[in-house]
Amino acid sequence: MDDLLTVTGAKRYSDRVLYALWAVFSVIMIVVAVHDYYRGGGASLWKPLLWEGSSMSFATLLLALQRTIGRRSYDRWLGEPSKWFGHHLKWFPLYLLAFLVLVYGTRNGVYRLLGETYNHDAWLVLIPYEAVKLLLFFGLWLGVIFGFDSFARWHAQQRHLLELQRALAESRIATLSSQLRPHFFFNSLNTISALMHMDVERADRLLACLGELLRASLQSGGQELIPLGEELRLLELYAQIMLERFADRVTVQWRVDDAVLRIGVPAMLMQPLLENAFKHAVERGREKVRIEIAAVRKNDELVLSVRNTGSSLPPDWREGVGLRNCRERLQVIYGAAALTRLSESAAGVEAVVTLPCREPSA
């Protein structure tokens, strides 16, 4: 809680504004007092300066003292104005006493030093008068201070919230990109463990594929863009493993323009799309499936697609995890400029991603 309220930059800034405001207020008060004094026929400039100056400086001192000592606890009550004001105002009697002693002591002292006598109203009249005056100013300034402090806290919370959102987006994109299903890994490991007994070389190759894919998926956390050529190489690793597992049930075709290989794309972007094709058509269906992977450029956009035969979208189709992750990840990186679309035709189900052409990150 305290961390949330420990307000640094914003508070310091608003404090400076507050002090400046206070200084302006003091000057005005003094000018008014001087002006008043001359209109009343007075001739000694130092007198109104002393009166108002002593009042202002001691009021400032006391307020500053209270603010320094009690700041932390007062900040805690910013959310409950009645408590905040209550805890300030409970010190008012002491405040008043200290104010009277200091102000009138100083004025008397200065008068005496200059060989004059400081005449003021009787204490019985003076004390209520000063009390009301002080309470008015005290109240006014408490209001102002409350406003400033509340603003500073609000500002700090906003910043904290923004940071939180940014962190959330980062972690979100990290989870979104690590979408290789555990199923895939365990099944692949099982395939390798079976292959070992039959063809050590093939098992070894498959293990290397799996290792490389795992490494890529662990690294693909951020928002950086890799060249499409690299992305397709990773996709091919995945396809190789799946082909080893389902060799007799699927064919995979690639249709890739050479011209698009250097365009930047988020790493492992297409993997969930290909995974979906395998999951819905190959792993669930009994027919032989054809998968076509395409990457072409259309005007200023890169169009990536994965199409498969052997599956259809059910009438109550709802977007699954793979596609949603893909879309949300694109949303974070490209905003509204990227599109994800799933469609069905006689030729099968097709997932299409359209991206603006960007350079790969360095």
Partner 1 sequence: MIRALIADDEWAARAKLSRWLKEQGDIEIVAQSDDGIRAAEAIFRHRPDVAFLDLQMPGLTGLEVAAQLDQDDAPLLVFVTAFDEHAIRAFELNAVDYILKPFDKDRLLLTLTRVRGRTRDRKARASAVATARAQTHSSERLLVPDGEELRLIDTSTIEWIEADDNYVHVHTVARSYLLRRTLQDLLTQLGESQFARIHKSAAVNLAAIQALAPLFKGDHDVQLRSGKTLRLSRRYKDALFTRMQR
Interface residue list for partner 1 (CB under 8 A): 181-183, 186-187, 189-195, 197-198, 244-248, 283-286
Cα(138)–Cα(133) distance, integer angstroms: 8
- The neighbouring-strand residues paired with 266 are 225
Closest CA to 258 of 232, 240, 234: 232
* Shortest Å, Cβ 282 to partner 1: 8
CA-only gyration radius of the chain, Å: 38
Cα(304)–Cα(311) distance, integer angstroms: 20
Both tokens assigned to 64: 């500053």
- On the 0-12 / 13-18 / 19+ scale of CB atoms within 10 A, 10 is middle
Pick the closer one to partner 1 by CB: 94 or 189.
189
Cα(237)–Cα(84) distance, integer angstroms: 64
Cα(235)–Cα(271) distance, integer angstroms: 6
Both tokens assigned to 311: 């599956």
Closest CA to 313 of 328, 325, 326, 323: 323
Closest CA to 223 of 361, 352, 359, 354: 361
- What is the end-to-end Cα distance of the chain in Å, rounded? 41
Closest CA to 100 of 79, 62, 143, 130: 130
* Shortest Å, Cβ 181 to partner 1: 8
* Shortest Å, Cβ 187 to partner 1: 4
SS3 227: strand
- On the 0-12 / 13-18 / 19+ scale of CB atoms within 10 A, 158 is exposed
* Shortest Å, Cβ 195 to partner 1: 6
* Shortest Å, Cβ 179 to partner 1: 15
Cα(1)–Cα(5) distance, integer angstroms: 7
